Structure 1
Amino acid sequence: MRPCLTAFVGLSCALLAACSDGPSEDADRVREGQRVYAKECAACHGARGEGAGPMSLQLDVVPPDLAGLKQRNDGYFPREFVSRFVMGQLAKDDPASPMPDFFAVGLRHVYPNGGADGEVLETDFANLLDYLEAIQW
């Protein structure tokens, strides 16, 4: 009976360890996305995404409240739309909009000396979207 108990305990530990990896990885991605957000977006969109960052006073338009995207979209976070907008893949209503095309300019504040492209930027942008989704109310 003892080997059976040992096998059961071992299997239980393995299953618990497998279950805990997902949320930890999710939290890491959100944390990395928060870092990108703080450096690239918070100046205009506010520390919590509410649209009232310190630079917003110098703009001709009010930056949108990013924390309320889900609420304004019937409880759905428009991840693909936000991704395409941030990456400059959608036509803007106002071509003179102060919103940068991050695909063209990159993450200037995260990587002030350059050096990040391709997969690194894709990961950073995915993490940024994870963070934006996490701050929805």
Structure 2
Amino acid sequence: MKVPFICLALLAMPAFAQDADIGRSHYHTHCATCHGLEGRGDGPMAGVMLIKPVDLTELSAQNGGRFPLERVVMRIDGRDPLVSHGSPMPVFGDYFEGSFDVPIKAPSGQPVLTSRPVVDLVTYLQEIQRIE
């Protein structure tokens, strides 16, 4: 069986360290205004938004106990635009879109390529998930 070149190239990529502390900083700078300091969807701008921000601490609980990594990565980096954000993240889309050259491992084991800031931010979001 022949393996496509792109798959081999992804497997050969070095594993990048994920930094939740940097992700926390990105979150507080770029996300807390709408999603709140603790990610519960209660930021100062939440009251004026037509579609309320989701509680980011409940992403795993709302997905059968599994963090929806691919969906979250693609929402943040703009590949899966969210209508309430007006497409990509409203003010910070350019910062998170970047080049998709850093792999993050999905629950399926497959790598998802995104930008370095998204990897760190998603790592932080995984840390703040409520465990029931």
Report the TM-score, using the length of structure 1 for normalisation. 0.63
State whether structure 2 residue 129 is matched by structure 1 residue 136: yes
Q: CA deviation at 1:91?
A: 4.7
User: Is residue 45–residue 56 contact of structure 1 (8 Å, CA) maintained in 2?
Assistant: yes
Structure 2 CA distance for partners of 1:135 and 1:70, relative to 1, 3 Å: same
Could you give the per-residue CA deviations for residues 42-93 of structure 1, whole angstroms, max 9, x where no partner exists? 000010110000011121111000010001111100011100111121254x
- Identity among equivalent positions (%) equals 31
Instruction: Judging by fraction of residues, say which structure has more strand.
Output: 2
Q: 1 or 2 for the larger relative contact order (CA 8 Å, sep ≥6)?
A: 1
How many equivalent residue pairs?
100
Gaps of 5+ in 1: 1-24, 108-116
Partner amino acid, structure 2, of 1:88: G
Equivalent of 1:47, from 30, 37, 45? 37
Q: Which runs of 4+ in 1 moved over 6 A?
A: none
State whether structure 2 residue 85 is matched by structure 1 residue 98: yes
Structure 2 CA distance for partners of 1:32 and 1:104, relative to 1, 3 Å: closer
Q: CA deviation at 1:40?
A: 0.4
Aligned ranges for residues 117-132 of structure 1 at < 5 Å? 117-118=98-99, 122-132=115-125
Q: Which has the larger radius of gyration?
A: 1
- Secondary structure, aligned partner of 1:72: helix
Q: 2: distance between equivalents of 1:58 and 1:80?
A: 29
Q: RMSD over aligned Cα, in angstroms?
A: 2.6
